[in-house]
Amino acid sequence: MNKQKLVEQIRTKRSFLCVGLDTDLKKVPQCMLSEEDPIFAFNKAIIDATASYCIAYKPNLAFYECFGVKGWVAFEKTINYLRKNYPEQFIIADAKRGDIGNTSAMYARAFFEDLDVDALTVAPYMGEDSVTPFLNYKDKWVVLLALTSNKGSHDFQLTTDENGKRLFEEVLDKSQKWANDEQMMYVVGATQGKLFADIRKHVPNHFLLVPGVGAQGGSLEEVCKYGMTSDCGLIVNSSRGIIYADSTTNFAEAAGKAAKALQEEMATLLLAHKV
């Protein structure tokens, strides 16, 4: 999906919500466990209940890979289900890949040829040749980790060089030489608050993937105050806050309600920021 189509979806649905499909069999309702493929059955129910309120889905690969072949099959079935039934949804595979060039090229094949997702999260630590193999695909996106939501983001990302430039700023500046805002987005955690203003000084037009609202406590209002652009420029993810809103047979309806509540908040914020 290209940037124009993504912005159109946001404007039409009055939402920039991404539902995180971090499906944990220890947390899904008991009634799902008797299904032949419980991960897929749970995802399907969540997708059907939330699709009208969101513009993207982000399955995190860790939750699938831990089940080996079965997990990978459930992941593939989820992507195919979305593609067939909700083709307007932007699909982000959250796998945080990145390796020497020829290995990254294989990861790119897996996600952009075999699986046909729209975007992949990529770690910048190994530099240019570890990222550029993902950029050889039209309308496919690299979502580069810039300033993450976790406590450990302070360990490296906020350290400074001799001129006071922070590492996440160097990531933003250097990576713009590899791709423009039609192919690259950045991960910035919702927990980073006012730092969104600093992010925007470096990337005024790029989309940001923003995890960390809901379970991690980030503020949607603050993210929008400092991070929203005239095209919205934000895809805000919530995983646990939506998919585990209820642990009974009512789980899908509850997920739909939680997604709707966020969408309504987002519609108000879009209006307030004149998007």
> Which one from 96, 177, 225, 257 is the annotated catalytic residue?
96
Residue 172's nearest CA partner among 136, 150, 147, 195 is: 147
DSSP conformation class of 215 = G
Q: How far is the CB of 163 from ligand OMP (least distance, A)?
A: 26
Give how many residues touch ligand OMP by CB under 6 A.
Answer: 20
If one asks whether residue 123 binds ligand OMP (CB under 6 A), the answer comes out as no
Tell me if residue 268 falls in helix, strand or coil: helix
Where b means 16+ CB within 10 Å and e means fewer, 242-274 reads bbbbeeeeebbebbbbbbbebbebbeebbeeee
In the set 9, 15, 121, 130, which binds ligand OMP (CB under 6 A)?
A: 121
Contact window for ligand OMP (CB under 6 A) among 30-38, 98-106, 166-174, 206-214: 206-214
Among 15, 23, 60, 175, binds ligand OMP (CB under 6 A): 60
Toward ligand OMP, which CB reaches closer, 8 or 216?
216
Which of 47, 74, 94, 107 lies at the binding interface for ligand OMP (CB under 6 A)? Answer: 94
Structural tokens at position 111: 């996600």
The DSSP call for residue 8 is H
For ligand OMP, the binding residue among 149, 157, 175, 229 (CB under 6 A) is: 149
Does 187 engage in binding with ligand OMP (CB under 6 A)? yes
DSSP assignment string, 14-68: T--EEEEE---TTTS-GGGTTSSSHHHHHHHHHHHHHGGG-SEEEEBTHHHHTTH
At 163, phi and psi to the nearest 5?
A: -100, 5
Q: Which of 22, 90, 117, 183 binds ligand OMP (CB under 6 A)?
A: 22
Would you say 98 or 214 has its CB closer to ligand OMP? 214
**Distance (Å, rounded) from C-alpha 83 to C-alpha 114?**
13
| Contacts of ligand OMP in 219-238 (CB under 6 A) | 237-238
Please enumerate in sequence order all residues whose Cβ is within 8 A of that of 27, keeping only pairs 6 or more positions apart, or say none: 240, 244, 247
96 is catalytic: yes
Please identify, using beta-carbon distances, which residue of 262 and 275 lies nearer to ligand OMP. Answer: 262
185 closest CA partner among 172, 170, 169, 166 = 172
The answer to the question of residue 261 lying near ligand OMP (CB under 6 A) is no
Active site residues: 96
Tell me which residues touch ligand OMP (CB under 6 A): 20, 22, 60, 94, 121, 148-150, 187, 189, 211-212, 214-216, 237-241
